[in-house]
Amino acid sequence: MRTVWITGASSGIGEACAYRYAAQGCKLVLTSSSREKLEAVADRCRREGASGVRVLPYDLSEPAGIKLLSREAWDTFGGIDILFCNAGISQRTRVEDTPLPMVRKIMEVNFFAPVALAEAILPLMTDNGGGRIAVTTSIAGRFGFPLRCAYSASKHALYGFFETLRAENHDKGISVTFVCPGRVRTDISINALDKGGVRHGKMDPGQDKGLSPEKAARIIVPAIEKRKNEVLVGSSELMMVYVKRFFPDICARLVKKIKAV
């Protein structure tokens, strides 16, 4: 039975996907910064049918322990078939209100942590005959977005790194799926960093009307199973991805009119 390691597994997309994999009888390794929330998710995963669950709490803004964490995750059930780098942190600040330490923190969680996880797990996967890596990006990783300068940059960076990883390792049985959400009703806006580095503490109105995490998971998990290169998750807002691709000048004009919160 497959083993799936999900980061950001205590809520939102990660939690919902954990339940989908549990219902398939998978073994699960669950990571987020909150042990209490993870334990609650783990209990439900067991009830949903997971053949094994291990909770590995970790703050991914701390790079020093990621290699050891990865080794522990791998050894828990004797390997990992799917690594889902889903954890992330957002912001609600203009460029002039986003000091470099905030940029670094966002980049640490959203970009450097997935890179470190992949670099630790990739050679183990290839030695084991292959595996799947999924990475949560965002439509804000396809074009700049107001009040998201560091967040958008971190998501753009994921494409560059993991597209390269895929190109270099496709012949070793490694697939990479970019999970690109638009508006999904998660806590990411509530937990976003606001001016002064404080917690934003509010659900964005647009996000509140977005897709439920459960509906998102029903789209995401089959896409990873099919080894799709990318899966867009959301509704009408996803049209901006295609506007950017085919009509970049129009996209630039429309982005200026976006009400970001």
- Compute the Cα dihedral for 75, 77, 79, 80 and give only its sign: negative
Q: Using an 8 Å Cβ cutoff, are 225 and 179 in contact?
A: no
Pick the catalytic residue from 19, 21, 58, 151: 151
d(CA 225, CA 229): 11
Q: What is the CA radius of gyration of the chain?
A: 18
Whether the CB-CB separation of 250 and 243 falls below 8 Å is answered with: yes
**Region for residue 230 given its phi and psi (left: phi exceeds 0; alpha: psi -120 to 50; beta: otherwise):** beta
Name the amino acid, one letter, at 231.
V
Residue 151 is among the residues annotated as catalytic for this protein: yes
Q: Catalytic site residues?
A: 151
